[in-house]
Amino acid sequence: MTPWAVVLLVTLLPACGLISGATGQSSDYEPLGCRDRQMCCSGRDSSCVVSEFHPNSIIEDLDTNRTIRCYCDESCLTLGDCCHDLRSYCGVQDCIVSAWGNWSTCSSACGVGKMSRRRQVLQEASNGGRLCPALLQSRACFNTECTKRHEYREVAALLPAVFGTARHNNDSKDIRHNLLLRYPKDPAEESSREYCSFFQITKAAKRCQLETWSSIFKDSVRVCVECQKGAMKNNLGFRCKGQGLLNTETRWSAMLANGCHGKWILTSRELDCRCPQSDSQSFIFV
């Protein structure tokens, strides 16, 4: 190698050391960003772009791989092509929430219920930041602490009042009924009295209209339901299942009418009464 060639090689080495890789990017080069262009755009805006050539690239070569492009609009947070200083310069802030609180008590002490827990927003999202996640969680729960005070959770099963006479058709001929008369009855049963409950319908399924006798179940209709001795349950304290509590919304279901069910409110109760069997708005507890 000639002396003049050695001198030329030594002269070029420092300049070559400034080039990094095939792109010709300086090792200490920092690309332009939103602050340099003073851009912060809302939504999706393709014109909100920072574009430049690497400082040591050959301008005549229009290869797109030598071009830096980044965006300063909110959409880039989803697409992942934001400029490096978008968050700091444009004030992008993700939503921040607290840890979950404790689970609430079960909504039902008798049977299936629901419990929930919440968390709070510590800082709202701003300038396109990540939105807040769900703040409420719910899950099912089940309890078995069933007492008389939970009778309003029972579902009343109903039939037209005309079926009430069938309970007494075989009182004198049914051998099982006659055999039971030989045994002393529970004092609570002896003291129990038949009664009528008056309800106002608050909700009824549309399928109730498919049967003639159940078509009476409509919103705001008042019905009379008779609790006869044959329907009283000894495990419920010799009362009818689903009798409800005064001024409390409970549930009912019409027997022999598939899909006919709904809600009602007990408005009053009378002892030793009979619902008119000829009345289409009279029923019996099953």
15 or 213, higher pLDDT: 213
Contact 250, 244 (CB under 8 A): yes
132 or 174, higher pLDDT: 132
Note the pLDDT of residue 103: 92
Query: Average of pLDDT values for 181-210?
Result: 80
Query: Average of pLDDT values for 244-263?
Result: 91
Query: Average of pLDDT values for 142-156?
Result: 67
- C-alpha 267/C-alpha 244 separation (Å) is 10
Note the pLDDT of residue 61: 47
Note the pLDDT of residue 132: 92
- C-alpha 26/C-alpha 226 separation (Å) is 93
**Model confidence pTM above 0.75:** no
Query: Average of pLDDT values for 272-282?
Result: 88
67 or 211, higher pLDDT: 211
Contact 183, 252 (CB under 8 A): no
- C-alpha 8/C-alpha 11 separation (Å) is 5
Note the pLDDT of residue 125: 87
Dump pLDDT digits (tens) for 161-179. Answer: 988 876 655 555 555 555 5
Query: Average of pLDDT values for 74-85?
Result: 86
Dump pLDDT digits (tens) for 6-23. Answer: 444 444 444 433 333 334
Query: Average of pLDDT values for 263-274?
Result: 91
**Confidence band (pLDDT; 50, 70, 90) for 37?**
confident
Burial of 213 (0-12, 13-18, 19+ CB in 10 A): middle
**Confidence band (pLDDT; 50, 70, 90) for 100?**
very high
Long-range contacts of 188-192 (CB under 8 A, 24+ apart): 188/234, 188/237, 188/238, 189/232, 189/234, 189/238, 192/229, 192/232, 192/238, 192/239
Query: Average of pLDDT values for 254-261?
Result: 93
- Give the rounded percent of residues in the chain with a pLDDT score beyond 90: 31
- C-alpha 74/C-alpha 60 separation (Å) is 33
Note the pLDDT of residue 278: 82
At 140, list the tokens: 């099912």
- The DSSP line for 109-168 is SEEEEEEEEE--EEE--BTTPPPP---EEEEEEEEE---GGGGGGSEEEEEEGGGGGGGG
- Give the rounded percent of residues in the chain with a pLDDT score beyond 70: 70
Note the pLDDT of residue 175: 57
Note the pLDDT of residue 193: 84
- C-alpha 118/C-alpha 134 separation (Å) is 9
Mean pLDDT of the chain: 78
Query: Average of pLDDT values for 69-86?
Result: 86
178 or 196, higher pLDDT: 196
